[in-house]
Amino acid sequence: MVKLRYSDSHSLFTMAGTNDAKFHDLCERFWKWRLQDSPEFATFCGFHEFDDKMDDLSIPFYSSKLGIMKQFLNEAKQIDSATLSKSAKLDLFIFIEDLECVINGFEFESYYFPINFLEGPHLSMNLQIGWMKFKTETDYLKYVKRMQSFAKQLKSVKEILKEAIGKGYVSSIESVKEVPEQLQKLIKESTEKTGDFYKPFKETPKQVSLEKLHDLEDQLTDVLCKELVPALESLKDFLVNTYMKNVRQKPGICNLPNGEKFYQACIKFHTSYDVTPQEIHDLGLKEVARIKGNMIKIFQEEGLPPNIAEASKILFERKDLCCNTAEELLEFVKDICFNKIQPLLPKLFKDLPAIPLKISEAPSIMTSSPPAFYLAGTPDGSRSGTYYINLTKVDACPKYEIPALSLHEGEPGHHTQASSAMITKSPNFRCYMEDMKYYLTPSRFPMHTAYVEGWGLYCESLGEELGLYPDNFQKLGRYNFEIHRACRLVIDTGIHSFGWSAEDAFTYMTENCPMDPWFIRNEINRYITWPGQALGYKYGEIKLWEFRRKAQNELGVLFDVREFHKVVLNAGAMPLNLLEKLVDDYISETKTAAQKE
């Protein structure tokens, strides 16, 4: 971690500056490189210059980035932070931290895991279509060329997996066993004009003639049949006949070469702290015991067995607690978000961003995704921030869990968090997070998981202050999600550090987490696939509450929860150890201001 120079008489980020323009120029050059380096990320951010390309996943290309990033880092370290303004000082600190993070992570070569049941080119293309613009002939031509690039990308994935086998750097079967079926769905979709790949041609833009649109559609069909389908079939055959016969036999990443160090790097990446697997495991056990006590109390009050597994089995059979159809569930979520939660937000928040939230069904190919997830929109409003609901198993998502789920994914959770970042005057590299390619951890730019997901879980707890859990079942829904995140601390470390099998994890989670068995299996496979990612939720929430209680205790009557939330949201995604310093500044500045009155 780089240490900035600052006066002992000032807090870390309070000095005025004179050299902001030089740093601004560096940020602009870095941002242009980031968009060019990842066309998919550029499209996600609403920049369409590179919509004709997919990311180059080849190992030579990935390796070539290292020198470029070291050059940016060297330039940043030449800037004297004492000459910068308060905001630029903070941005420089994070700029350096971000680059050091990805550079230090390069040794773990996580680019050898480019495809799994949760993510990969085969799942991202459908999302890319939704992020692209289709208004002109050029837009459609870019789309056709992007499909050609998609086929080349799949060939790169196959080559990477071949090399990975030779190094013994391979996935567990749980991570890839569903991928051949997912690829087969994509093959089928590529040959049907009712599929997602043909969606852009369902409407006729004013700037494109019908004749030209038909010609472009024919070009797409040609690419799909002659280039994409063969690439999909080749990758599928390789996975089935070669790769899946060479997967690692145990799920934990500790079983890879350099695996223990790899996992420790993943922990630091996702929590912001140098905490050990044992410390996290013990914290998880403690949290599970505490939350379980709250749940058993509710079970007893409701006449249910004082046992999570037994009580859950009874509740799963209560069809009256669930929606009957996917459409009903989607409407129920919208009602909770727009009619129940939104009107209450001013009680705990001020200056909320006026960026609308969209609620939508998750893409059909993402049936193995979590029950819900959020993807940020764009600052220009061309794409809304979207809270996606997995409608695959309606009866596995009881209505009493929707308030907590919606507080996390929508407002004031991820949507408010992402929208707040977009309206700040921070450099672009801080306003947009590459919410994709989780498999690259820790050989990638930071995701600040503990800040992002810790905030989501923290917002679930705010439902109590907002009165959104008026009865035992809704409180139980909140505890269900909380104990789920606490179990993750135990299971993630169990799998990746202590040698747990997938069955060990399933048994523990079944005994302690009231989830449908299908979701439990899916969750465990997720933890196996993304080592350490699941730790950020509970660990981050615990730290945020720690920061809030510190502010409450030190400020007393001066504490305003709306101001505290503003400090956290306006800070933007960052390591929690840095956010802690900003909260300390807020406490100090509030005390100083009160003394002057």
Summarised one tens digit per residue, pLDDT across range 31-53 is 999 999 999 999 999 999 999 99
**Predicted confidence band at 11 (pLDDT cuts at 50, 70, 90)?**
very low
**Is residue 248 domain-shared with residue 295, that is, in the same domain?**
no
What is the residue-wise DSSP string for 178-218? THHHHHHHHHHHHT-TTSGGGGGGSS--TTS-HHHHHHHHH
Q: What is the mean pLDDT of residues 124-128?
A: 90
Strand, helix or coil for residue 110:
helix
* 433 occurs within a structural domain: yes
What is the residue-wise DSSP string for 357-400? EEEEEPPGGGTTS-SEEEE---TTSSS-EEEEE--S-GGGS-GG
How many Cα atoms within 13 Å fall on the side-chain side of residue 459?
A: 28
Please determine, for residue 380, whether its predicted confidence score (pLDDT) is greater than 80. Answer: no
**Predicted confidence band at 179 (pLDDT cuts at 50, 70, 90)?**
very high
Q: CB atoms < 10 A from the CB of 257, how many?
A: 10
pLDDT confidence of residue 5: 28
Summarised one tens digit per residue, pLDDT across range 98-121 is 999 999 999 999 999 999 999 999
**Predicted confidence band at 6 (pLDDT cuts at 50, 70, 90)?**
very low
How many Cα atoms within 13 Å fall on the side-chain side of residue 258?
A: 11
**Is residue 237 domain-shared with residue 297, that is, in the same domain?**
no
The continuous run of DSSP H or E covering 257 comes out as: none
Residues 361 and 393: beta-carbon distance below 8 Å = no
Please determine, for residue 3, whether its predicted confidence score (pLDDT) is greater than 50. Answer: no
**Is residue 243 domain-shared with residue 309, that is, in the same domain?**
no
Q: Distance between CA 510 and CA 519 in Å, rounded?
A: 11
Residue at a domain's end among 542, 571, 587: 542
Residues 512 and 288: beta-carbon distance below 8 Å = yes
**Is residue 340 domain-shared with residue 220, that is, in the same domain?**
no
**Is residue 501 domain-shared with residue 396, that is, in the same domain?**
yes
User: Which bin fits 437, alpha (ψ -120 to 50), beta or left (φ > 0)?
Assistant: left
Which of 250, 246, 118, 107 is CA-nearest to residue 170?
246
Query: Cis peptide before 514, with omega less than 30 degrees from 0?
Result: no
Residue at a domain's end among 253, 283, 301: 253
* 8 occurs within a structural domain: no
Summarised one tens digit per residue, pLDDT across range 17-34 is 458 899 999 999 999 999
**Is residue 471 domain-shared with residue 514, that is, in the same domain?**
yes
**Is residue 68 domain-shared with residue 213, that is, in the same domain?**
yes
Residue 400 token pair: 């009493």
**Predicted confidence band at 495 (pLDDT cuts at 50, 70, 90)?**
very high
Q: What is the mean pLDDT of residues 3-16?
A: 34
* 72 occurs within a structural domain: yes
Q: Distance between CA 26 and CA 60 in Å, rounded?
A: 26
Residue at a domain's end among 253, 285, 303: 253
Domains held by the chain: number:
2
* 1 occurs within a structural domain: no
pLDDT confidence of residue 15: 40
**Predicted confidence band at 371 (pLDDT cuts at 50, 70, 90)?**
confident
Q: What is the mean pLDDT of residues 241-255?
A: 97
Strand, helix or coil for residue 460:
helix
Which of 496, 437, 428, 366 is CA-nearest to residue 32?
428
Q: What is the mean pLDDT of residues 326-338?
A: 96
* 11 occurs within a structural domain: no
Amino acid at the residue 564: F
Calculate helix-pair angle for 517-529, 472-497, nearest 10 degrees: 40
Which of 348, 288, 312, 299 is CA-nearest to residue 475?
299
Q: What is the mean pLDDT of residues 462-486?
A: 97
**Is residue 268 domain-shared with residue 149, that is, in the same domain?**
no
Summarised one tens digit per residue, pLDDT across range 80-103 is 999 999 889 999 999 999 999 999
**Is residue 185 domain-shared with residue 222, that is, in the same domain?**
yes
**Is residue 249 domain-shared with residue 322, that is, in the same domain?**
no
pTM of the complete model? 0.91
Torsion of CA 216, 221, 222, 226, to 10 degrees: 150
Q: CB atoms < 10 A from the CB of 345, how many?
A: 15
* 164 occurs within a structural domain: yes
- Percentage of the chain exceeding pLDDT 70: 96
User: Which bin fits 441, alpha (ψ -120 to 50), beta or left (φ > 0)?
Assistant: beta
Q: Which domain holds residue 471?
A: 259-542
Please determine, for residue 359, whether its predicted confidence score (pLDDT) is greater than 60. Answer: yes
* 521 occurs within a structural domain: yes
**Is residue 122 domain-shared with residue 191, that is, in the same domain?**
yes
Summarised one tens digit per residue, pLDDT across range 421-433 is 888 878 999 988 8
Computed over every residue of the chain, the mean pLDDT equals 93
**Predicted confidence band at 14 (pLDDT cuts at 50, 70, 90)?**
very low
Please determine, for residue 367, whether its predicted confidence score (pLDDT) is greater than 90. Answer: no
* 148 occurs within a structural domain: yes
**Is residue 99 domain-shared with residue 129, that is, in the same domain?**
yes
